[in-house]
Amino acid sequence: MNKIKLVWKCTAIAITLYGVWIFNSDLKNIQQIETFNINLILFGIFFAFLNYILRALRWHWLLNKSGENIKISKSFLSFFSGFFYTFTPGKIGEIAKSLHLYDLTKIPARKSLPIIWIERTSDVAGVTMLCFPIFIYMVLKNKQYLYQNSIELILISWIFGVITMLLLYIIAKSLVNKIASKSVPKKERKEFVKTFLETLKLLKKNIPQLLLWGWFAWVLEGITCFLCLEAIFPNFSIFQNSNTDVSLIEKITALTRFYSTSMLAGALSFIPGGLGATELTLTNLLMLSGFEEEVANSGTFLTRLTTLWVGFPIGIISVLKINNKKRESRRLSPPR
């Protein structure tokens, strides 16, 4: 009950922060919201949901790779329960999906916790790889890096992603003993560390697959961002001051990089749901590319609405369903 209360408190804070951002953005003056193309918004939600499905499949694949043969329905349910903890600082509450997985399958936390770390590593590496060209832009101030897809840039970005994954692998190995000493009973620590490190090897053995998984998942949400802007500002142009025309693929590339950078900024802020930091970053990047402030605010609002705020209700439904299964299991269990 304390865990649930904490989540709702974090959610209340997140909604308050979001309300403050909406007020400060003066969204009431954005007429584009009233005339958006609902079909494109629904299409954007579809791509965001594909992101969820892709990541749920990764969770199921990792669980089976670790030697656990479980039904896909149970792994999906445990994965989506993590969305309930979206508004905990840094999404650290997602660790609770390890407990939900145990409720469904009796897989111990020492097996699922490293898989959660591998998941987050895959996501972080995918995001940092996508926003790496933004870092180059910040150094060189050349807007071509915001949307171009040269072979050299793609190769360097992938190398950067691999380095990120290896660094996070090393960090996990160095932290496992500290985690065990603070949260695991003394008699169970040795087994916990052994299982954790053994499962963590999945990260090192499957770097290409995990990097591709993380990259593609966030590209899908980048497409959602593109569709949201297209919904309120059809056939929009970006980088109008550049000497070359920007193609459709380059538009999507730029918006994917902007969205990924905003997600990274939100995660690093450690604010519940990244609220405020994510919106501010995405809005400023959209304005940098030539959008007027009103359109940039509209695009940011709709993008977050179709990604972040769609996932949270799914998390609530999943947690409720898991709790119902627990109660039913206890009811059917023979008395001791």
* CA gap 17, 266 in Å, rounded: 13
Residue 29 within any structural domain of the chain = no
Angle in degrees, CA 284, 87, 27, rounded to 5: 40
Q: Are 113 and 98 in contact (CB under 8 A)?
A: yes
Residue 297 within any structural domain of the chain = yes
User: What are the per-10-residue average pLDDT scores of the chain (336 residues)?
Assistant: 55 62 52 72 94 96 92 94 77 77 89 92 94 92 88 92 95 88 83 91 94 95 94 82 75 95 87 78 92 86 86 87 82 60
Which of 215, 223, 255 shows the shortest CA–CA distance to 239?
A: 255
Residue 30 within any structural domain of the chain = no
Q: Which residues span the domain enclosing 303?
A: 2-19+57-332
* CA gap 320, 325 in Å, rounded: 9
Q: Report pLDDT for 51.
A: 95
Q: In whole angstroms, how far apart are CA 325 and each of 16, 64, 104, 159, 328?
A: 33, 22, 8, 44, 5
Q: Report pLDDT for 2.
A: 47
Residue 213 within any structural domain of the chain = yes
Q: Are 41 and 302 in contact (CB under 8 A)?
A: yes
Could you tell me the pTM of the whole model? 0.87
Amino acid type, 165 = M
Reduced 3-state DSSP string for the chain? CHHHHHHHHHHHHHHHHHHHHHHHHCHHHCHHHHHCCHHHHHHHHHHHHHHHHHHHHHHHHHHHHCCCCCCHHHHHHHHHHHHHHCCCHHHHHHHHHHHHHHHHHCCCHHHHHHHHHHHHHHHHHHHHHHHHHHHHHHHHCCHHHHCCCCHHHHHHHHHHHHHHHHHHHHHHHHHHHHHHHHHCCHHHHHHHHHHHHHHHHHHHHCHHHHHHHHHHHHHHHHHHHHHHHHHHCCCCCCCCCCCCCCCHHHHHHHHHHHHHHHHHHHHHHCCHHHCCHHHHHHHHHHHHCCCCHHHHHHHHHHHHHHHHHHHHHHHHHHHHHHHHHHHHHHHHCCCC
Residue 38 within any structural domain of the chain = no
Amino acid type, 189 = R
Q: Report pLDDT for 323.
A: 85
**Encoded tokens for 258:** 């902007």
Residue 40 within any structural domain of the chain = no
Please give the tally of structural domains in the chain. Answer: 1
Residue 46 within any structural domain of the chain = no
Q: Report pLDDT for 136.
A: 92
* CA gap 38, 44 in Å, rounded: 10
Q: Report pLDDT for 63.
A: 94
Q: Report pLDDT for 29.
A: 44
Residue 246 within any structural domain of the chain = yes
Which of 59, 58, 79 shows the shortest CA–CA distance to 209?
A: 58
Q: What is the DSSP string of 179-207?
A: HHHHHS-GGGHHHHHHHHHHHHHHHHHTH
